């Protein structure tokens, strides 16, 4: 994420991305039970007396209470989309009684395994995580990803969906992006140097540039790399034998630049950038930037995107901040279509830098050592900037699958279908990781059975001093006889973020987890064996509350 600093009139932004290479291995799509069908889609055969010549699309839509996706005239068939919460059985029974209908069938899926041939797929742990090490050498947890591989068997994205990457621009000639760039046909087919579509920007073929807000141009070329990195995660072209693949293989990427080469931008530019995306038909607005205080003008233009039915995806921020207590903008504006995203590592824990908030931050997504496109090739960067595009990509898939959904409905779906993960229960509203497959199928996942909340428990009473001392180095040892795994419950933890730490070691002295900042009402990572050593260390600056451990879960 890029962060605003200073006054709203001239908001400076600082790039959050840090470099390193991420490594994971590709895997094949799991076999799925029962005959698959595209969620919510049905083929409806019309009776001869309901020929298309006698039936308008509006009449059919009202009669079937459904979105008309396609009309196959010579076969007298209509392909419809129904809300996926309606069961297959009830849809078929209801529509079969309609006087226009001869029969109804699910839109079954016939497929080969749709894993793409992009050579760097194996390094995209956020898309497919097999538990291999990331670029920092840290072993991950298999399945901690956005579940894109299974989703691709249902939907890979559509050129009907426009996603605006509001950032430092987009490298629109890059081999992995050029085929998925939005094209403003009026300008592309118009006269050079003329505002052919009268939208206030000349020659805006792939988007617009608002860095010089009083003199916008039609060239959103990325001169920094951040926007291209985000665009690659959202919708790098898939199955083309080139580089990486985005969460959505197909989309129309609108480059909307208001951040300069040094990562700075203004409120004026931000407002114009969002306004442009609204006017030019973006369904999803991806925003990996933030900062400053509350401004009504920015809130107003985001509310316009809500009125247009768009989704506004926002990075939660990189300050290790509780956004419930200390708002971060634009992620915490009270606008219904804003979907705020925290960053996780490849084990599923909230990244040490990521903002969080069980009410104001909605979902988590991969944001540590994420490989994508830059202006100098492919690099792995970290930040909530890298997490938000994963969710924007999921939104592209969802909008492609169910184009009748508005932004608020997409937000609600992505939150409700997130995969629960024990380390996220107190960190984000969904208590889990955004999941592309669940979003497309509207599948509400069951609880995380590896969550220590479901294990046996015993009371424990270990606390630091309140507040703890400067230059502290204090140890405690906890043993649960007969346990093979244990997890500590911190009823309260408040440490100076990034300077004071609680470190957890197993019986062999291996570091399992290093905690800092606020971790109230949360379980630790799972410690193998029956013993854990807890070590509190601090510097000599600010001493905060410390911690209380009140119980131990074990199995």
| Residue of 385, 426, 464, 538 marked catalytic | 385
Token pair belonging to 541: 């600056």
Distance CA 237, CA 178 (A): 8
| Residue of 226, 229, 362, 390 marked catalytic | 226
Distance CA 274, CA 298 (A): 9
Burial 47-82 (b: 16+ CB within 10 A, else e): eeebebeebeeeebeebbebbbbebeeeebbbbbbb
| Residue of 167, 176, 204, 319 marked catalytic | 167
* 100 C-beta neighbours (distance < 10 Å), count: 18
Stated as kind and residue range, the H or E segment containing 414 is helix 407-416
In 230-334, the DSSP E strands lie at: 250-257, 284-287, 289-291, 311-315
CA dist list (Å): 4 to 35, 276, 319, 385: 50, 20, 12, 13
Distance CA 463, CA 285 (A): 45
* Short-list 368, 318, 322, 315, CA closest to 520: 322
Distance CA 469, CA 545 (A): 10
Is 226 a residue of the active site?
yes
**Cβ(281)–Cβ(264) below 8 Å:** no
Determine if residue 476 is left, alpha or beta; phi over 0 gives left, psi from -120 to 50 gives alpha, anything else beta: beta
Is 153 a residue of the active site?
no
Is 167 a residue of the active site?
yes
How big is the CA angle at 549 (ends 346 and 327), to the nearest 5 degrees? 60
Active site residues: 167, 226, 385
């Amino acid at each position: 994420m890029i962060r605003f600093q200073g006054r709203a009139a001239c908001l400076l932004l600082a790039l959050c991305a840090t470099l390193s290479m991420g490594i994971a291995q590709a895997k094949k799509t799991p076999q799925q039970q029962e005959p698959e069908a595209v969620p919510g889609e049905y083929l409806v055969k019309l009776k001869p007396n309901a020929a298309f010549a006698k039936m308008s699309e509006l009449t059919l839509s009202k009669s079937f209470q459904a979105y008309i996706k396609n009309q196959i005239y010579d076969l007298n068939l209509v392909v419809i989309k129904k809300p996926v919460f309606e069961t297959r059985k009830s849809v078929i029974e209801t529509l079969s009684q309609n006087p226009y209908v001869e029969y109804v069938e699910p839109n079954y899926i016939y497929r080969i395994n749709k894993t793409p041939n992009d050579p760097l797929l194996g390094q995209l742990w956020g898309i497919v995580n097999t538990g291999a090490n990331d670029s920092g050498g840290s072993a991950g947890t298999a399945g901690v990803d956005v579940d894109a591989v299974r989703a691709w068997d249902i939907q890979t994205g559509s050129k009907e969906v426009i996603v605006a990457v509001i950032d430092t621009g987009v490298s629109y000639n890059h081999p992995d992006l050029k085929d998925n760039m939005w094209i403003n046909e009026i300008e592309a087919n118009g006269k050079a140097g003329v505002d052919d579509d009268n939208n206030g920007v000349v020659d805006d073929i792939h988007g617009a540039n608002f860095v010089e807000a009083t003199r916008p141009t039609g060239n959103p070329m990325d001169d920094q790399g951040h926007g291209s990195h985000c665009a690659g995660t959202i919708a790098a072209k898939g199955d083309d034998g080139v580089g990486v693949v985005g969460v959505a293989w197909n989309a129309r990427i609108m480059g909307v630049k208001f951040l300069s080469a040094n990562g700075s931008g203004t409120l004026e530019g931000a407002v114009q950038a969002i306004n442009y995306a609204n006017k030019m038909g973006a369904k999803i607005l991806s925003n990996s930037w933030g900062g400053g205080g509350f401004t009504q003008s920015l809130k107003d233009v985001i509310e316009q995107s809500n009125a247009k039915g768009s989704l506004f995806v926002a990075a939660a921020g990189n300050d290790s901040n509780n956004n419930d207590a200390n708002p971060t903008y634009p992620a915490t504006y009270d606008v219904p279509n804003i979907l705020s995203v925290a960053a996780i590592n490849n084990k599923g824990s909230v990244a040490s830098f990521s903002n969080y908030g069980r009410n104001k931050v909605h979902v988590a997504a991969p944001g540590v050592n994420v490989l994508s496109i830059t202006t100098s090739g492919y690099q792995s960067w970290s930040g909530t900037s890298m997490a938000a595009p994963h969710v924007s990509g999921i939104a592209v898939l969802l909008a492609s699958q169910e184009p009748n959904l508005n932004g608020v409905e997409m937000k609600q779906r992505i939150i409700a279908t997130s995969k629960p993960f024990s380390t996220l229960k107190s960190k984000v509203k969904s208590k889990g990781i955004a999941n592309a497959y669940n979003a497309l199928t509207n599948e509400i996942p069951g609880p995380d059975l590896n969550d220590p909340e479901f294990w046996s428990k015993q009371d424990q009473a270990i606390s630091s001093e309140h507040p703890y001392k400067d230059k502290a180095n204090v140890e405690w040892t906890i043993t649960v006889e007969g346990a093979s795994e244990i997890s500590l419950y911190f009823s309260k933890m408040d440490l100076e973020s990034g300077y004071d730490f609680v470190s957890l070691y197993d019986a062999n002295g291996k570091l399992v987890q290093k905690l800092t900042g606020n971790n109230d009402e949360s379980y630790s990572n799972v410690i193998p064996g029956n013993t854990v050593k807890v070590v509190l260390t601090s510097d000599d600056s600010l001493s905060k509350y410390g911690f209380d451990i009140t119980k131990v879960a074990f199995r």
